[in-house]
Amino acid sequence: MSDESVDLDAEQYEKHREAGEILAQVREEAAERVEVGESHLDVAEWTEERIRELGGEPAFPVNISIDEEAAHASPSADDETTFGEEMVNLDIGVHIDGWLADTAVTVDLSGNPDLAEVPERALDAALELVEAGVETGTIGAQIEDVIEDAGFKPVVNLTGHGLARWEQHTPPNIPNRAVSQSVTLDVGDVVAVEPFATDGSGKVGEGNKVEIYGLDREGSVRNNDARAALDQITEEFRTLPFAARWLDVDRPEMALRRLERQNLVHSYPVLKEDEGNLVSQKEHTVIVTEDGCEITTQR
């Protein structure tokens, strides 16, 4: 990797790489645990604990999205849901001292292998284009072409994204379709490329279920549980997304409602395909180089 235009020092890039190495292993191990009859909560908690065993921390709650769900689905503390004959998307993140890696994979239990596999082919084609100087719209057009050639649609209102310290989503956005306005990738950019495919409309909207939250700002809180929750959020999770089930208070949902009312935290509702159709995804984190990219989440 060239030293030109690189804002992060070598130690920080090594932390990105370490996070990616842990994540590549955990993604494969977690995917093997997704079977009909297995508990969503058991898989999520096992995965999060496995990240810690390997020396990282979860960058966000494990997302387990089923069928028409595209993102932000994570089990609650008392969730008894088990996997059925469904399309399952696992989206997992790891950080080392705030430096992130982000990855996702589809595990198909639904009998729709073509849809399940097409995001991986789109991702492979997109990563062939990633290098310093390439337009993000060019990458999006490649993703769109691969998915549409397979007879499906990209999810156009979800994108890949940059990664920064303690920030899961930063510029630049990496679209999943051709766009008229885009930006140029630079040497040293750390980005997650994340194709989503569907046999539905190609758009997602917010559902009613919420289990993931993020900090907006610190502030004064009178309620004891809400204050304890806010202290834990600011100390442990900072600006990264967190799960309600991670909070060490008696009634986390009530504490979070209080914090939301004071605009101290925001929620991430589950995103669902508009027509209720299936969604699949694949994601890698890469470091952009002069003549290509380094995939940090690939074994």
User: 41 exposed, middle or buried (CB, 10 Å; 0-12, 13-18, 19+)?
Assistant: buried
Same domain membership, residue 40 and residue 158: yes
Q: Are residues 128 and 95 in the same domain?
A: yes
145 shares its domain with 161: yes
194 is catalytic: yes
Q: Residue 3's pLDDT is what? A: 42
**169 and 225 share one domain:** no
Print the domain residue range for 225. Answer: 212-270
CATH number for 253: 1.10.10.10
pLDDT of residue 5: 36
DSSP conformation class of 247? -
Active-site hit among 38, 117, 169, 294: 169
- Domain annotation covers residue 134: yes
CA–CA separation, 53 and 47 (whole Å): 10
255, amino acid identity: A
Among 48, 68, 102, 273, the one annotated catalytic: 102
pLDDT score at 7: 57
Answer yes or no: do 43 and 170 share one domain: yes
> Do 181 and 216 fall within a single domain?
no
Answer whether 171's CB lies under 8 Å from 185's CB. Answer: no
Is residue 3 in some structural domain?
Answer: no
**161 annotated ligand binder:** yes
Q: What is the DSSP string of 211-232?
A: EEEEE-------SHHHHHHHHH
**Residue 153 forms beta bridges with which residues?**
198
- Selecting among 67, 189, 194, 225, the annotated active-site residue is 194
Residue 221 resides in a domain:
yes
Residue 78 among the catalytic residues: no
Q: Can you say how many angstroms the Cα of residue 130 is from the centroid of all Cα atoms in its chain?
A: 19
pLDDT in tens, the chain (299 residues): 334 334 578 899 999 999 999 999 999 999 999 999 999 999 999 999 999 999 999 999 999 999 999 999 999 999 999 999 999 999 999 999 999 999 999 999 999 999 999 999 999 999 999 999 999 999 999 999 999 999 999 999 999 999 999 999 999 999 999 999 999 999 999 999 999 999 999 999 999 999 999 999 999 999 999 999 999 999 999 999 999 999 999 999 999 999 999 999 999 999 999 999 999 999 999 999 999 999 999 98
188 and 176 share one domain: yes
**Catalytic residue at 161?**
yes
Same domain, yes or no, for 263 and 276? no
Nearest CA to 149 out of 121, 190, 186, 168 is that of 121
Structural domain total, the chain = 2
Note if 169 is an active site residue.
Answer: yes
Same-domain status, 65 and 107: yes
Report if residue 2 sits inside a domain.
Answer: no
Q: Are both 85 and 103 inside the same structural domain?
A: yes
Predicted pLDDT of residue 79: 96
Helix pair angle (252-261, 224-232), 10° resolution: 90
Can 284 be counted among the known catalytic residues? no
Bridge partners, 287 (sequence order): 190, 294
SS3 content of the chain, % helix, strand, coil (to 5): 30, 30, 35
Count CB-CB contacts under 10 A for residue 13.
18
Q: Residue 283 annotated as binding?
A: yes
Residue 113 DSSP SS3 = helix
Question: How many whole angstroms separate alpha carbon 150 and alpha carbon 146?
Answer: 6
Catalytic residue among 120, 161, 225, 273: 161
Cis omega (within 30 of 0) for bond into 172: yes
What pLDDT sits at residue 47?
98
> Looking at residue 105, which CATH number applies to its domain?
3.90.230.10
Tell me, yes or no, whether 285 and 164 share the same domain.
yes
Query: Per the annotation, does 199 bind a ligand?
Result: no
In a domain, 4, yes or no: no
User: Is residue 43, in this structure, part of any structural domain at all?
Assistant: yes
Question: Do 47 and 136 belong to one domain?
Answer: yes
